[in-house]
Structure 1
């Protein structure tokens, strides 16, 4: 053990214990090296990103062709492609990823095709790339059945192709739900022409994970440095989630499961106000391009407590986690790391030391993920 300047191991121990106590009291993670290697639960991380070479190549060719629309999500793909260390981790579904999982004590990853995914490539290429993505993901799960599960990719621009591919991916390939990298050129899945996709997911009991992408019309975010996680990402998922609720999608598909990350992008904090202000959009004529009014069957909070789950990706913060468990229910909050964009032994250790019951901790880290995504026992 290294010594403090006074030469004492006792001094070092006291310093550490004081530091640990202060960090725990204010809700920060302990220092590195305190992951519980014999925890009485499996750590299932439920928002773990990956990609594959053909998709990166298709994104870059379209971006550089001059034929692509002015799409900030596609530009984001170009930014990611210029980060070799990030690409190395995203592209690996073998030894490198498994070594990082072992380092951080992660027993299973739920693989999500990273943003912006297949929905920004040249029209007509998205569905074939979805098929390739789902075959690769299924192969990784077959090679490492105790370590990987995966969500299916689909290109929402091709509704019929998406339904067919979801039938194959969730039926034949036995993937565990689907991932949508939020809007595509300003379109959202609450628009009724895309509802056959929601119908297919409900029929398969497949959860839909909406992951952030660059916000639509992003310059006002970019000029302030809020393009990503500081603003644009959460706001985009906020719009998508609230759009689904107020479109009546959950009344039409009452068993549809929606999962959103980053502690619900702050949405749970506003449940009281959403219910109070529901009349601003509920049963109001002329919205969505002049459509007839949609009257919801329930308060907004009902859908959060019956159709929506949140993951903790990137927010290893005890007060926030406990708040979401309190207002949504402990069965509606799932652990996620957000690999490789955010990874820390400090953060994993914070979960081990959450001051919640053993039952709720096991639900958070393992049980809820198994139920929502139909994972193997």
Structure 2
């Protein structure tokens, strides 16, 4: 399928890329990962090969959220937003961007988001989980605290989505949970385990009730949440937890109909996607890859193009849902919505996709 949109795709400032990549890869791998994070312009040929029309860029994790000094965190946000805006301005038909913000000060975050959206043209904002704070970086600031209502009000007013993304745990959490089981840290399990608590905290704190226009997006097939919806709603007992600020007539499932969206980033499981569609409907799911942490664009693209889904679902998940949510049909991106299946060449990677995609989730 041509015309796909992907929206959990990372970059880093060139001055930081290789050093920060060492947190996620071997010494040799960090060199390659750092180069991939720093190279935005060089992605277009691979996008063309994979049938990807638009890539939405975001400052890689932890970004500003990993900087415990408020002044330095804000400087990084401003630098990142100015940098990526120039990249988008040079090629708006292929790139869009999420803004970065420091979340030390909700008012400052709201102000920088407004600047990034109104002046620089960002189509949303990336939050890399909690904000590190304190002298040793071990204080975690979470955005379900009522002090962040100023930020959420601005998000609603600007009518742009928030993409919330995982990050590595603080040293305190790492020492308690992961030091003796390092392999479960980060993307194997820890990312989803930690971020899902934050997402559910935002929902159960009543953010979506106070600001019903807020749209929250998260990746990796929903950070485990779609597959636990029944149990979540069954166990969120209002009598037991009368202090829970979420509206008493709402469930987490309700918010998936009005405020929550997921992407397929870094989770190319056909069965999981089918389960997510059954739980949420295809209207709340968007295709993404998680480049460059997933190696290249073809694996995810060939998997997607070979999916046993209806053509309307493929178009919705692969293109239309993101186009609508991010308003990519507006200047300067001017993407066309409602393209025909012929124009999108549904199955355009089909021959490759069938041979590669069949390896996924095949029964033993």
TM-score normalised by the shorter chain: which range applies?
0.7 to 0.9
1:28 alignment counterpart: none
After TM superposition, give the deviation of residue 295 of structure 1 in Å: 4.5
**Any residues of structure 2 matched to 1:103-114 within 5 Å, and which?**
103-114=49-60
* Contact 1:212 1:234 (8 Å CA) reproduced: yes
Tell me, what secondary structure is at the counterpart of 1:108? strand
Please list the CA deviations of residues 334-370 of structure 1 after superposition, one character each: whole Å capped at 9, or x if unmatched.
Answer: 0001000003523321211111111110011100111
Tell me, what secondary structure is at the counterpart of 2:56? strand
After TM superposition, give the deviation of residue 56 of structure 1 in Å: 5.5
Distance in structure 2 (CA, Å) of the matches to 1:88 and 1:77: 9
* Contact 1:255 1:307 (8 Å CA) reproduced: yes
* Contact 1:218 1:232 (8 Å CA) reproduced: no
Distance in structure 2 (CA, Å) of the matches to 1:53 and 1:374: 29
Cα separation, partners in 2 of 1:322 and 1:163, compared to 1, 3 Å: same
Distance in structure 2 (CA, Å) of the matches to 1:199 and 1:78: 37
1:90 alignment counterpart: 37
**Any residues of structure 2 matched to 1:156-167 within 5 Å, and which?**
156-167=103-114
Tell me, what secondary structure is at the counterpart of 2:262? strand
1:302 lines up with 2:249 in the alignment: no
After TM superposition, give the deviation of residue 97 of structure 1 in Å: 2.0
After TM superposition, give the deviation of residue 78 of structure 1 in Å: 5.6
Query: Structure 1 length normalisation: TM-score?
Result: 0.78
1:313 alignment counterpart: 265
Tell me, what secondary structure is at the counterpart of 1:53? coil
* Contact 1:55 1:129 (8 Å CA) reproduced: no
1:375 alignment counterpart: 328
Unaligned runs of 5+ in 2: 133-139, 330-334, 336-364
- Alignment length, in residue pairs? 314
Instruction: Find 2:234's aligned residue among 259, 273, 276.
Output: 276
Tell me, what secondary structure is at the counterpart of 1:263? coil
Distance in structure 2 (CA, Å) of the matches to 1:55 and 1:296: 46
2:78 alignment counterpart: 131
Cα separation, partners in 2 of 1:200 and 1:281, compared to 1, 3 Å: farther
Unaligned runs of 5+ in 1: 1-38, 61-75, 288-292
Distance in structure 2 (CA, Å) of the matches to 1:373 and 1:241: 20
After TM superposition, give the deviation of residue 318 of structure 1 in Å: 1.3
Q: CA RMSD in A?
A: 2.1
After TM superposition, give the deviation of residue 275 of structure 1 in Å: 1.1
Distance in structure 2 (CA, Å) of the matches to 1:347 and 1:332: 19
1:53 lines up with 2:14 in the alignment: yes
Please list the CA deviations of residues 99-122 of structure 1 after superposition, one character each: whole Å capped at 9, or x if unmatched.
Answer: 332343322111011000012223
After TM superposition, give the deviation of residue 79 of structure 1 in Å: 1.8
Greater Rg over alpha carbons, structure: 1
Instruction: Find 2:174's aligned residue among 191, 213, 218.
Output: 218
1:79 alignment counterpart: 23
* Contact 1:248 1:296 (8 Å CA) reproduced: no
1:198 alignment counterpart: 152
* Contact 2:17 2:38 (8 Å CA) reproduced: no
Cα separation, partners in 2 of 1:98 and 1:294, compared to 1, 3 Å: closer
Distance in structure 2 (CA, Å) of the matches to 1:360 and 1:234: 26
* Contact 1:275 1:300 (8 Å CA) reproduced: yes
Please list the CA deviations of residues 211-269 of structure 1 after superposition, one character each: whole Å capped at 9, or x if unmatched.
Answer: 00013412222421111111110012101110001101110011100000000011000
